[in-house]
Amino acid sequence: MILTVTPNPALDYTVELESPLDVDTVVRTDDATIDAGGKGINVSQYLRALGTETAASGFLGDPFGRVLAEQLAAEGLEAEFVSVDESTRLNQTILAPEGEYKVNQNGPAVSDDAVDALREHVATVAPPTLVVGGSLPPGMTADDVDALASAGDWATTVDVGGEMLAELEAEYALCKPNREELAAATGSPTESVDECIAAADELRSMGYERVVASLGADGAILVSEDGAVHAEAVDVDVVDTVGAGDSLLAGVLSAFDDGADDATALATGVAVASRVVQVAGTSVPDFGDVPTIRDAVTVTRH
């Protein structure tokens, strides 16, 4: 079972516009979605759709937290959150003809007692695999993430910012930066795939057994003690990149949960992400054709 922890979840409000945005001009639309979001929650939603046992946790505060919890319950996703006094975030994405606009709130402050309660919940569940994903709310630090990773006998994956990857000191089974986060964590160049592989190998020396890095149009890489594999991106019509990295991670973890090797796991992640970027928001698409897409992904060993 894979337990995901989203310290700073959000309701994701996505609006798609047919007309460009302009100052002091009202643009109207009927095309809007509200999804329960945050990296860990997204990963759990994708894992569940892929048939992998999962549960979600983190911090929630009303009123948006109540709406988020109701959405997860309606989806049938197992979830238990620690309550906090301030409201959960509302993150906004506007898909306009000229590009994509994002406004993300910082999130509610959490107390030391809330952080302790979260750690106790993780210890009670004692999952084989723990995933900590997304930004940290005010009141939570890198030391608290290390404490979650070290509090029991589970393999911990982190999907956090590059600067925080450099701060974490515990041992981690896997981390999933994007290209920019890989550069921020290591201070190394990441322009080419080979440079990304070198930076990922450097990140491994900082306490990460495996590094999975999403590289946009260049696909993705996975670097472990067995070497590096590179999977090319799938050629699809991209509607929205929200959730792309989370779905890549979910595909990789689901494949590892089934006993896959590095190359197969990475190809699975790229296949899952290729389906997700074809829909707006963080809605979960049909993953029925993922095995077919996976088998067509070009994977090379470096």
CA distance 165 to 168: 6
- Distance between CA atoms of residues 149 and 171, nearest Å: 8
Amino acid at 164: M
Beta strands in the chain, from DSSP E residues, in sequence order: 2-6, 10-16, 32-37, 54-60, 82-83, 89-96, 99-103, 129-133, 155-159, 172-175, 208-214, 220-224, 227-231, 299-301
| Active-site residue identified among 246, 261, 262, 289 | 246
Strands (E), 79-143: 82-83, 89-96, 99-103, 129-133
Look up 246 and say whether it is catalytic. Answer: yes
What are the structure tokens assigned to 184, written together? 């921020």
Alpha-carbon gap, residue 264 to 166, rounded angstroms = 28
- Render the burial of 79-92: b for 16+ CB within 10 Å, e for the rest: bebbebeebbbbbb
Query: 235: exposed, middle or buried (C-beta count within 10 Å: 0-12, 13-18, 19+)?
Result: exposed
Edge-to-edge strand list for the sheet holding 172-175: 82-83, 54-60, 2-6, 129-133, 155-159, 172-175, 208-214, 220-224, 227-231, 299-301
Is beta strand 89-96 parallel, antiparallel or unpaired with respect to 10-16?
A: parallel
Which SS3 state, helix, strand or coil, does residue 101 take?
strand
Q: Catalytic positions, please?
A: 246
